[in-house]
Structure 1
Amino acid sequence: MRILVASWPGYGHLLPMVPLIRAAQRRGAEVLVTTGADLAPVVERLGVPAHRSGLTLAESYARLPVVVGELPAAEQPAFAARHFFGAGAVDRARDIADLVAGWRPDLVVHDTLELGSATVAVGAGIPHVTHGYGPSVPGTDAFARVLGAAVAEAGLPDPVPAVLAAPYLEPCPPGLHGPDPEPWQDIRPIRPNAGEPGGYVLPPRDRPIVYLTLGTVVNQNPEAFRAVLEGCLRHPVDIVATTGPDVDPAVLGELPPQVLAAPYLPQADVLPHCTAVVSHCGAGTMFGALCHGLPHLAVPLGADQPANAAALAASGAGLVVTPDGVAAGLGRLLAEPSFRAAAERLAAGAAAMPTADEVLDGLVGSELQDRAAGLR
C-alpha cells in the first residue's frame, strides 16, 4: 500500500501527522511525504522519503503583492486564502501531478491548508483525507471557498467540496473546540501527541521548570521574545527556552543561569519535567502541553494563535496575555490550582481519543475503497 502525506512547508503542519506516518509504517505501507524544499530535511530526519513540491515558506511570503499584516484585519483571511495558500496549492498540485503519474498512491493525507495534493487526488479519483493540526479557526468554511476558487481560476479542479465531504482527522480533544461549527461532514477523532522523543536529557534543575517558546514562524521577533522572557524571570523558576531552528539564542542577549536556551529541543523530552508552558499558542505547543496536563500562558502573536488561545482560555487550562502581561499572568498560572486541574482534564480527554493506528485501520478498510470507487 502506498500513502502520500502532503504538508504545507511549516513544522506545525507536518509534525501533527507524524503519528499517522508511524502507524502507516507499522502496517508495512510505503510512505512518501511531499512538501517544500525547506521542510524536506525535517522529513528526511524522520527517516521518511521526501518529495519536494511547490514553493518554500520564504518563497511563498516573498511573492505576495503586499505584506498580509499591513492589510486591515478583516481583509487578511481572504487575501491569505487566495494569494498564499491558494497560490501555493496550485504550485504544489502541478508538482504532485507529475509524481502521481509514475507513483500512484492508494491514499493521500494532507494537512488542513495543503490542498494541492487534494486537487490532484480529486482529479485522479484517489481517496484523500484531511489531517487537522489545531482547533478550527472561525470562518474556516469561507476561507476554504476562497482558496478553492483560486485553484479553480488556475484551471484545476476546485478540491474544497470533496475535501469537506472526505474524512477529517480531528486532533482537538473534547473541551478545546472553538465556538464555530466544523465545516467537515465526516469528523474522526485522532489522539494528539507531544512529538517524538529525541534522546535529549534535561540537566537537573532545583526549581520548577517553565518551558518557553514562540514557535517556528513568529519567533523572529527578538524584542517580543525578550519581553516574554523578562516576565518569566520575575518568578522563582528555571526556564527552558527554544528560539526556533533558524534563530540563534544569542539574539536574546546575555542570559542568567536559570535560563537554558537552545534553537530546538524535542518537546517530548522537555515537557515531562515542566510545571507550566509559556508560548505563542501554536497548535503543536498547545497540544504538547495539554498531553502532559500542563497549564499554559498564551501570548498569541498572529496566524491561528488568537483562536487557539481563546479556546484554551475557555477550557480553563490557561490564560491569554500580551508580552507585557507575562509576569502577572504566570504568577496566576503558578499560584491557582484550577489551571492545572483543567489541563489535566484535557489530558485525560486526549488520552481517551483513538490512536493513529486505530484511525488508520478505519481509513484503509473497505469503506475507503468503496468511496474511492465512487470517485472514479
Structure 2
Amino acid sequence: MRILLVTAAGAHVPWIVPLSWASQLAGHEVRVAVRPMGVDAVRGTGLVTVPLGDEATIQRAQSRHQGLAYRGTPRNLPGNWFADPGLLDKDLRVNMALRLLAAAEGAAADAVALAESWRPDLVVYDTVASVGLVVAAAAGVPAVGHTFGYSFGFDYQGEEELWTAYRRLFEPYGLDPVFPRFLVDPCPPALRDPHRIPWAPMRLIAYNGPVVAEDWLTRRGGGPRVCITSGMTSTLLDGVVARIVDGAEKLGAEVVLAVDHRDRAGVAERPPAVRIVESYPLSVLAPTCDVVVHHSGVGTGMITAISGVPQVVLPQSTSQDFWADKVERAGAGVAVRDVEHADPDALPGVIRDAVETVLDDPSYRERAEEISRGNAAMPTPATIVGLLEDCAAGADVRSSPLLRTA
C-alpha cells in the first residue's frame, strides 16, 4: 500500500524516519511530505520527499499568531501543559493552536493536490504538522498521529474559537474535518505522559544518518567521559562553553565537545585535553559517555536517556523546562535552572557541581539504565507497521493489544 508520512521541519525530521523506513522495508510505497525548509533534511534520509507549500507563505501565516515563542514565553507556565494545553491561559493556548493551524493552512492546497495525485492508503503525520490531516481528509483515508512524548492535545471541538479555525483548514476544499484514529509515540515509558486519545507505544530508535565509528570511541582513559553539546536548537550557552569545559576538566574528566557543523567556526581553538566532534550522532557518542551536558532539548534528552546515560540539563526556554522537569522526576539527571540569568562567572562552577553530583551518585546511572531497558521492551517500528496495515484495511484497531488508553 501507499503510506504518506507528513513531518514538521527541523529537529522533528529524525523522529519519523524509523517508522518511515520500517514501512518501506515491509514492502510499502512510502513518501515523506514536509514544508520546503525541511526538504533537504528529509532527502538526506534516503526517503522520497514531497515539498508542501511555499515557505514564505507559511511563515507569513504563522507570524499572525505569537504562539510558543522560543524567547519571551513566560517561564512560569502551570504544570505539564505540553501534555494538557488546557492548563494554559486561554489567550496563549488559542494562539499556540492557531499558529499550528496557520502553518497547515499555508500548505493545505498542495496537500489536497498530493492526495488527489498520489492517492495514499494511509497518512501518518507529526502532530505538529496538522496539514497531514488535510491530506487524509482529501484522500478519504485514515490518519494516524506521530508524536514524541507530547502531542499538543488541543481540544479543537471543545472551544468555539479553535473549532472555527480547525474547520477553516478543511472547508475551502469541501472537506469535513477529520481526527487521528490513534497516535504512535516513541517516547520511553518512564518519560511519557498519557494522551487524550489511544496511542501505540513504539521503541525509540535513533536515526543517525551516515557516520564512521571512530576507534577513539572505545578507547577510554582513567577518568569519566563527559559529553557537552548544545544540540540543534540553542546557542545561548556558546559564550560560556569554554569555561564549562574547564570546569569538567577539573573533575579529571575526558571532555568531548559535540558541535554542529554550523557552530564549528565558533570554537576558535581546541582546549587542552578536549576532543571536538562535528555533527557526530549522539546515539553513537552518548553510550560511551558517563554523563551528557546539554540544553534540555527533547531530542538530545531522549537519545541520552535510551542510551542509559544520565544527563545534566540547562533549560533556557519554556519547552526546555518541560524536558528538565521530566529528567528530574525520573531521577535520570540534574537540571541547572535559570542559566540565562545566571552570573556568567559563577555558572561554570554550578554546572561542574551538577556534573560531579551525577557522577558521584550511582542512582542517576541506574535510573537512566532502567529507562533504556524500558524503551528496549517497547514494540519495534516493524511491529507498528502491522498496526498501520490493519488500520488502512479498515479493521477496528481499538481493541488491538498494541494500543494504550489513559
TM-score for both structures, normalised by structure 1: 0.84
The amino acid across from 2:260 in the alignment is G
Aligned match for 1:198, one of 181, 198, 210: 210
Deviation at 1:252, TM superposition (A): 3.9
* Structure 1 range deviating more: 332-341 or 212-221: 212-221
d(CA) in 2 for partners of 1:104, 1:342:
46
The aligned residue for residue 214 of structure 1 is 230
Equivalent runs, 1:123-202 vs 2, <5 Å: 123-133=138-148, 135-136=149-150, 140-142=153-155, 149-154=164-169, 156=171, 159=177, 162-163=179-180, 166-178=181-193, 181-184=194-197, 186-196=198-208, 198-202=210-214
Alignment size in residue pairs: 360
Distance 1:321 1:107 in 2: 43
- Cα distance change of structure 1 residues 42 and 17 upon mapping to structure 2, 3 Å threshold: same
1:136 aligned partner, one-letter code: Y
Aligned equivalent of 1:362: 387
> 5+ residue gaps in structure 2?
76-88, 340-346, 397-406
CA-CA distance at 1:295 after TM superposition? 0.5
Corresponding position of 2:255 = 239
Cα distance between partner residues in 1 of 2:241 and 2:95: 28
The amino acid of 2:188's aligned partner reads P
Cα contact 2:115–2:138 (8 A) shared by 1: no
Deviations 1:34-70 (A, max 9, x none): 1122321222221111111135599738962586334
The 1:59–1:127 alpha-carbon spacing in structure 2 relative to 1, beyond 3 Å, is: closer
Q: Deviations over 1:186-217 (max 9, x none)?
A: 21110012333633234345243222222222
Match of 1:26 in 2: 25
Aligned partner of 1:53 in structure 2 is 52
**1:210, 1:238 within 8 Å by CA — same for their partners in 2?**
yes
Q: Of 54, 61, 82, which aligns to 2:98?
A: 82
Alpha-carbon offset, residue 248 of structure 1: 2.3
User: What secondary structure, in the 3-state scheme, does the structure 2 residue paired with 1:278 have?
Assistant: strand
The corresponding residue for 2:336 is 321
SS at match of 2:327: helix
Over residues 276-297 of structure 1, what are the superposed CA-to-partner deviations in whole Å (9 max), with x where a residue is unaligned? 1111222222221122210011
Residues in 1 aligned to 2:183 and 2:118: alpha-carbon distance in whole angstroms: 24
Going from structure 1 to structure 2, the CA distance change for 1:172 and 1:155 (only over 3 Å counts) comes to closer
Change (3 A) 1:131 1:99: same
Letter in 1 for 2:208: E
SS at match of 2:102: helix
Q: Distance in 2 between matches of 1:29 and 1:226?
A: 48
CA contact (8 A) 2:7 2:34 kept: yes
Are 1:3 and 2:17 counterparts? no
Identity of aligned residues (%): 28
Change (3 A) 1:221 1:65: farther
Amino acid at match of 2:360: A
Offset, 1:120: 2.4
Residue-by-residue CA offset, 1:241-273 (whole Å, 9 max, x unaligned): 33335x322324433133333441122321221
How big is each residue's C-alpha offset from its partner over 1:58-89, in whole Å with a ceiling of 9 and x where there is no partner? 97389625863345565555433323x22111
Q: Is the 8 A contact 2:264 2:278 kept in 1?
A: yes
**Aligned residue type for 2:128:** L
Aligned equivalent of 2:84 = none
- The answer to whether the Cα contact below 8 Å between 2:188 and 2:306 also exists between their aligned partners in 1 is no
When normalised by structure 2's length, the TM-score is: 0.79
**Counterpart selection for 1:99 from 104, 111, 114:** 114
Query: Which moves more between the two structures, 64-73 or 343-352?
Result: 64-73
The answer for unaligned runs of 5 or more in structure 1 is none
Q: How far apart are 1:6 and its partner, in Å? A: 0.8
CA shift at 1:274, angstroms? 1.3
TM-fit CA distance, 1:153: 3.5
For residue 195 of structure 2, give the secondary structure of its aligned residue in structure 1.
coil
